[in-house]
Chain A
Amino acid sequence: AQSVSQHNHHVILSEAASLELGCNYSYGGTVNLFWYVQYPGQHLQLLLKYFSGDPLVKGIKGFEAEFIKSKFSFNLRKPSVQWSDTAEYFCAANNAGNMLTFGGGTRLMVKP
């Protein structure tokens, strides 16, 4: 079965630290990849997406993610986190035309 795994359930960082959240998927063939973010008390919103082309994708708020096909990975990165990045982050994937499968989420807490 297709699945998406996020290995870190909770991450705690200090401001200005670098961030990398892991995401692995188990899809074969062409895959679309997404990162969604849910800030405290707010709705899930799209952070960035990869469909094709440059495997390094830039998203909003300084986030980026790199698609590494050989590793079935789509890790999320940010060079320097801020307190306002405290949120839960969800990786998701699908094959073209099929339903999204979400990972379990990673709760990030950034200490001021």
Chain B
Amino acid sequence: ETGVTQTPRHLVMGMTNKKSLKCEQHLGHNAMYWYKQSAKKPLELMFVYNFKEQTENNSVPSRFSPECPNSSHLFLHLHTLQPEDSALYLCASSQVPRDSPLHFGNGTRLTVT
């Protein structure tokens, strides 16, 4: 049990589908993150929310749309994705300040067909 729960664990979607990834943290943290982990590439930071406010958008295409309704929940809404978006999407949380270590979920393995 990591304290950060991601659902679903696996997702296969077509390029015209709309789906959402969910993340929930039970650690009382106030910062949440989405990372993308692709084969043979470093972990890529996508979005950061501090106290429900988005503070970072790392040049992510608009087909990825984050939502943070409260400090414990984070969503990543997906639409009209491309096959190259297939990757492991990791949610993490931490205390503010950002120097605090990240706590990661198990990730959602996304395959776009």
Q: Which residues of B contact A49 (CB under 8 A)?
A: 101
B residues 40-59 near A (Cβ < 8 Å) are 40-43, 45, 48, 56
Q: How far is the CA of A98 from the CA of B25 in the complex (A)?
A: 22
Q: Report the bound CA distance from A99 to B31 in whole Å.
A: 12
Other-chain residue from A34, A96, A98 in contact with B101 (beta carbon distance below 8 A): A34
CB nearest neighbor in A for B91? A43
Which of B13-21, B79-87, B104-112 is the contact stretch?
A: B104-112
B98 to A94, Cβ gap below 8 A? yes
| Chain A contact patch, size range | 20 to 34
Residue pair A46, B99 in contact (C-beta under 8 Å): no
Q: Does A97 lie within 8 Å of B40, measured CB to CB?
A: no
**Is A16 part of the contact surface with B, judged by Cβ < 8 Å?**
no
Interface assignment of A44: CB less than 8 Å from any CB of chain B: yes
Residue of chain B at shortest CB distance from A48: B101
Pair B4/A43 contact, Cβ less than 8 Å: yes
Whether A105 and B42, one on each chain, are in contact in the complex, defined by CB atoms closer than 8 angstroms, is yes
Docked-complex contact B99 and A32, CB < 8 angstroms? yes
Q: B104 and A97: CB pair below 8 A?
A: no
Say yes or no for A51: interface residue by CB 8 A criterion: yes
Q: How far is the CA of A101 from the CA of B44 in the complex (A)?
A: 8
Q: Are B105 and A96 in contact (CB under 8 A)?
A: no
| Residues of chain B having any CB pair with chain A under 8 Å | 2, 4, 40-43, 45, 48, 56, 90, 92, 97-99, 101-107
A-B contact pairs, 20 of them (CB 8 A): A32-B99, A34-B101, A36-B102, A43-B4, A43-B90, A43-B105, A44-B104, A45-B2, A46-B101, A46-B102, A46-B103, A51-B99, A90-B43, A94-B98, A96-B99, A99-B45, A100-B102, A102-B42, A102-B43, A104-B41
Contacts A36-B104, A43-B2 given; 8 further ones with Cβ under 8 A? A44-B92, A45-B103, A94-B99, A96-B97, A99-B56, A104-B41, A104-B42, A105-B42
